[in-house]
Amino acid sequence: MVSLVPRDNKFFHMFADLSAEITEGARVLTELLKDYRDVSARVARIKQHEHTADELTHAILTRLNQTFITPFDREDVHRLASSLDDVLDFVNAAGDRLVMYNIKQVPPDAAELSQIIVRQTEELGKAVSKLEKHQGVLEHCVEINALENEADRVTRKAIAYLFEHEKDPIQLIKIKELYETLEIATDKAEDAANVLEAVVLKSA
């Protein structure tokens, strides 16, 4: 039976905009960790992306409350918006720690973790762009999950090295928390991929 009320497909465009903002924020962090200067100014740029992402997420949730027929389950629309926004929240949190803890130098492993986040957000963007037709989404979800496993490996190696070589306990605490915050961002990207996978499988 054909519904007399059309589905609101603008959600797909809104999710694409949100994904793009997340990727840009993650790229700024990676650039900073690879070339560690102008820290406050570049962290402020991350915060601008995070603020824009919050506004986009709010717009999606507002539209959700105003829309009778959504392109997929209402609960999944909400979960996808929230999980995407969470990725940039933790990217922003990592940037905050650089300033708040007055970290003077960052180890290469931090940049490696951040680069993994960028790769995950790029895959999320590709998956979201295919969500309307549900074709090719799952392969990007698989890649995001594989990248999360890679991030776990990098984090374990980095923290082991930190405990072996860092003699200053305060510095150890600062860098360990930075690693853990970045790793949580990769977890959040995996959460978003799991929502995308659920949406596709429900429609199969």
Q: Would residue 63 count as lying in a domain?
A: yes
User: Rounded mean pLDDT of 184-190?
Assistant: 98
User: Who has greater pLDDT, 45 or 204?
Assistant: 45
Q: Which domain holds residue 163?
A: 10-203
- Residue 1 within any structural domain of the chain: no
What is the domain count for the chain?
A: 1
Contact between 103 and 97 under an 8 Å Cβ cutoff? The reply is yes
In a domain, 2, yes or no: no
Q: Choose among 120, 100, 105: nearest CA to 182.
A: 120
Residue 180 forms part of a structural domain: yes
Instruction: Report how far apart, in Å, the C-alpha atoms of 135 and of each of 65, 141, 168, 194, 200 are.
Output: 27, 12, 51, 16, 8
Question: Residue 5 domain-assigned?
Answer: no
Residue 30 has pLDDT above 50, yes or no: yes
pLDDT value of residue 71: 87
| CATH code of the domain covering residue 141 | 1.20.58.220
Question: How many Å separate Cα 14 from the centre of its chain?
Answer: 16
Q: Which two tokens stand for residue 28?
A: 């700024």
Q: How do residues 111-128 score in pLDDT, each as one tens digit? A: 999 999 999 999 999 999
- 113, part of any domain: yes
> For residue 84, is it within any domain?
yes
